[in-house]
Amino acid sequence: MQPAGERPDARNPSGKAPTRSTVTLRVNGRAHTLELDHRTTLLDALREAIGLTGAKKGCDHGQCGACTVLADGRRVNSCLLLAVAHQDVRITTIEGLGDADAPHPVQEAFLDRDGFQCGYCTPGQICSAVGVLAEAAAGHPSHVTPPDDLAAEGPAELSPDEIRERMSGNLCRCGAYPRIVEAVGDVVV
């Protein structure tokens, strides 16, 4: 019972101690065993518990894509996922894709095409682009795939329209979209 005159904590209105569990997250090939409040998002676990700050918190509501990472090779908004639900899932963040000495081809393409200004959205854009390339290679269609191509087997073609559609969950406040589309198009094989 809340004492009279005291306002409940908006983040914990019940006043009960948060439930915590031990979880092992496998991030960029390394296992991290953590004891986490069940409400901890994957994004907060990566940034605050593990110290990988490449994935960014933009909206924290699944609307901007700044927090995009790969979970078992598929792109996800890590701000929408609970860390404790990712026991042994293979997580890849921007730090795990490549570095200055050995950049991932998508990272190289963003540099070559100048696909950013402030860079805040860029880790999410690059992780998302890596996911797009894998989805296209696996033949997944998108909302703008022409009906005649839906039955086609093999990799999906990534036209600029396809890239724009497939990358539409990643917002860029600087408006670097034309260069981002070019960069992703450069890596299309």
Cα-based distances in Å from 109 to 2, 55, 98, 143: 56, 19, 13, 25
How far is it, in rounded angstroms, from Cα 17 to Cα 11? Answer: 12
User: Could you say whether residue 121 binds ligand FES (CB under 6 A)?
Assistant: yes
User: Could you say whether residue 116 binds ligand FES (CB under 6 A)?
Assistant: yes
CA 73, 99, 118, 184 dihedral sign is: negative
Q: Based on CB atoms, which residue is closest to ligand FES, 71 or 137?
A: 71
Residues numbered 72-111 forming contacts with ligand FES, rule: CB under 6 A: 77, 79
Which stretch, 59-67, 83-91, 128-136, 142-150, contacts ligand FES (CB under 6 A)?
59-67
Residues numbered 167-186 forming contacts with ligand FES, rule: CB under 6 A: 172-174, 176
The answer to whether the beta carbons of residues 106 and 130 sit under 8 Å apart is yes
Q: Based on CB atoms, which residue is closest to ligand FES, 13 or 175?
A: 175
The answer to whether the beta carbons of residues 86 and 26 sit under 8 Å apart is no
Which stretch, 2-10, 120-128, 135-143, 152-160, contacts ligand FES (CB under 6 A)?
120-128
Beta bridge mates, 33? 24
Specify the 3-state DSSP secondary structure of 107.
helix
Which stretch, 17-25, 54-62, 97-105, 135-143, contacts ligand FES (CB under 6 A)?
54-62
User: Could you say whether residue 45 binds ligand FES (CB under 6 A)?
Assistant: no
The answer to whether the beta carbons of residues 89 and 72 sit under 8 Å apart is yes
- Give min distance, CB of 37 to ligand FES, in A: 19
Strand ordering across the sheet containing 74-77: 30-37, 20-27, 90-92, 68-71, 74-77
The contact set with ligand FES (CB under 6 A) reads 57-60, 62-67, 77, 79, 116-122, 172-174, 176
